[in-house]
Amino acid sequence: MKFLIVGLGNAGNEYIHTRHNIGFDVVNAFVTKHGGKFSSGRLAYVAEVKWKGKIFMCICPTTYMNLSGNAVKYWMDKEKVPVGNILVITDDVALPLTKMRLRPSGSDGGHNGLRSVEAALMSRDYPRLRFGIGNDYPKGLQADYVLSKWRKEEEPLVKLKINKAVEVIESFATKGVALSMNDVNSSEYSI
């Protein structure tokens, strides 16, 4: 059983731990928890993790957000991972910071990274975990907001949710998307 776990974000020091890079942070936490290490691979930072008889190819695309699909398609084909075993983790301004949403398919919701993945796979039918980052920004300043760092008071909740998201990856691989959705989508996270 092989899975492709994709964290969406932007490569580069200026983007580290920004809201838009939460996908990178979640995948990094998963790899760290399971004793893996990232190395530079084609179009992405790549780590292989083995857990409970399953292989997880974990990638953080280095293509920048708008071209993330190129990395997803390349690693999916290279590792022969079926589309149902892909999990894309991304930020979502439409969800409050207290929520996460797991879906087996869906629209890109205006997210450029998901739009790129959809275009590369020529399908909307791939699982995704949306990590709510809230939308506490003035009109017209969404780009500045998503590329900003977390506020000090948000950090404990973000850390908690990153750990929960790691558990979602594990649940996705062991229980499947449908059962995992029930737990995740009904939960409200708080400190």
What does pLDDT average to in each consecutive run of 10 residues of the chain (191 residues)? 97 95 98 98 98 98 96 98 98 97 96 97 97 94 95 97 98 96 95 90
In the block, which residue shows the tokens 């990590």? 131
Task: Catalogue the active-site residues.
Answer: 20
Helix, strand, coil shares of the chain, percent, nearest 5, are 45, 25, 35
- End-to-end CA gap in the chain: 35
- pLDDT (tens digit, 9 = 90+) per residue, 50-84? 999 999 999 999 999 999 999 999 999 999 999 99
CATH superfamily of 2-185: Peptidyl-tRNA hydrolase (3.40.50.1470)
CA distances from 79 to 15, 43, 171, 180 (A): 28, 14, 21, 24
The predicted pLDDT at position 181 comes to: 96
Residue 164: name the closest of 190, 136, 146, 133 by CA.
190
The predicted pLDDT at position 33 comes to: 98
Q: Are strands 86-92 and 128-132 parallel, antiparallel or unpaired?
A: parallel
The predicted pLDDT at position 83 comes to: 96
